[in-house]
Amino acid sequence: MRIAKIETAEVNIPLVTPFKTALRTVDSVHDILVRVTTDDGQEGFGEAPPTAVITGDTRGSIRCAIEEFIAPALIGMEIENLDGIMKKLHGAILKNTSAKAAVDMAIYDLFAKSCGKPLYQILGGSRKEIETDLTISVNGIEEMVADSLKAVEQGFTTLKIKVGKEGLKDVERIRAIRQAVGPEIRLRIDANQGWSAKDAVRIIRTMEDMGIEMDLVEQPVNAHDFAGMKLVTSQVYTPILADESVFSPEDAIRLIQERAADLINIKLMKTGGIYEALKICAIAESYGVECMIGCMLESKIAVSAAAHLAAGKGIITRADLDGPSLCREDPYTGGPVYAGNRIIMNDTWGMGITEVPAFAGR
């Protein structure tokens, strides 16, 4: 089973509502898709979103990295030689983590197929079903409360609230949402680097003093401000989750050793795929640090790769995999089932996605 062809295509799926964070506003999932075909006709699929403000990747750079650097390095390799492929993939070009992630997941898709197993079983087989939160975009308070109530009606029991634009006014947002949804719903707060360390301590402590229970606060300060992350982590009771601060296994080691966060948010687009994400899982597990798995604005292909990883590894105790729920349509056939807050794995080999219209007829 040798790699014969690596192709790219584009997908553009409108969102149900615009996605707004402290960093950006987006209306659609406009991503690059990858198909890896083997000499015996098997297909593996991958996807990469152009998250320029976080990973530095654009549609143009993703295509170029795959077509001109990664594909030539991998063509002809045996799928069974997963380790060798991954060394070549990561050696073909520096950074470009989203492009690498798209190819990495297509290779894992094929590797699991070659083993005759669903991918999550190859990755550890921890459980068959995971629960995801739903993101509430940063907007006016009334709109955020209405969006939160709608999410709860749809069956979501954990909400991820985007804040970080307006300092202490964010407290009003969270308080209003907490009052509206009641005490049983878990709230995750994502500042997307929007606060200074001192502001973060003040804001989080204010919420704690008001008795507002939070599951975690995500990336309160700038990605590179490890000292700020450490200050916030040491000064508040609420668990602090590192997102933009941790891309690589090396980042994870540093963050854990400096005690700069309580939890780590793994995203395939930051690590460059499953192979490197597994290293972060191993590091985190060794230190007893729980992980969350997250996604960018991704449709079902990339999110399903992340879901397989989360179902595989027990150290991933939280999932923020709401990409498919934010999309207005699902163009693909097969894969895990997304039912409200539940993502249910099935026994199809590989990632389980069987048809991707962007490649049909090619």
Smallest distance from Mg ion to CB 232, Å: 15
Smallest distance from Mg ion to CB 219, Å: 5
Whether residue 55 contacts residue 246, with contact meaning beta carbons closer than 8 Å, is answered with no
Whether residue 33 contacts residue 8, with contact meaning beta carbons closer than 8 Å, is answered with yes
Q: Which residue is nearest to Mg ion (CB)?
A: 243
Catalytic residue among 113, 162, 165, 300: 162
Stretch that binds Mg ion, among 54-62, 68-76, 217-225, 277-285 (CB under 5 A): 217-225
Tell which one of 147, 190, 215, 251 touches Mg ion (CB under 5 A): 190
CB-nearer residue toward Mg ion: 274 or 297:
297
The reply to whether 133 sits near Mg ion by the rule CB under 5 A is: no
Residues that contact Mg ion, how many (by CB under 5 A): 3
Using CA atoms, how far apart are residues 214 and 248, in angstroms rounded to an integer?
Answer: 27
Catalytic residue among 267, 270, 300, 313: 267
Smallest distance from Mg ion to CB 253, Å: 20
CB-nearer residue toward Mg ion: 74 or 151:
151
Smallest distance from Mg ion to CB 44, Å: 28
Q: Which of 45, 127, 30, 5 is CA-nearest to residue 335?
A: 45
- The residue with tokens 């000292």 is 227
Using CA atoms, how far apart are residues 166 and 13, in angstroms rounded to an integer?
Answer: 30
CB-nearer residue toward Mg ion: 82 or 216:
216
Smallest distance from Mg ion to CB 74, Å: 31
Using CA atoms, how far apart are residues 265 and 236, in angstroms rounded to an integer?
Answer: 19
> Can you spell out the DSSP letters for 40-107?
TS-EEEEEE---TTTT---HHHHHHIIIIIIHHHHTT-BTT-HHHHHHHHHHHSSS-HHHHHHHHHHH
| 162 catalytic residue (yes or no) | yes
CB-nearer residue toward Mg ion: 54 or 105:
54
List the structure tokens of 23: 């960093």
Amino acid at 353: I
Q: Where are the alpha helices (DSSP H) in 210-348?
A: 226-235, 249-257, 268-271, 274-287, 300-312, 323-326
Q: Which of 81, 20, 7, 1 is CA-nearest to residue 356?
A: 7
Q: Which residues contact 96 (CB under 8 A, 6 or more apart)?
A: 57, 61, 62, 65, 69, 272
| Contacts (CB under 5 A) with Mg ion, residues 273-292 | none
Tell which one of 47, 243, 276, 298 touches Mg ion (CB under 5 A): 243
Stretch that binds Mg ion, among 42-50, 166-174, 184-192, 302-310 (CB under 5 A): 184-192
Smallest distance from Mg ion to CB 156, Å: 17
Stretch that binds Mg ion, among 83-91, 103-111, 190-198, 331-339 (CB under 5 A): 190-198
The reply to whether 251 sits near Mg ion by the rule CB under 5 A is: no
CB-nearer residue toward Mg ion: 281 or 296:
296
Which residues participate in catalysis according to the annotation?
162, 267
List residues binding Mg ion (CB under 5 A): 190, 218, 243
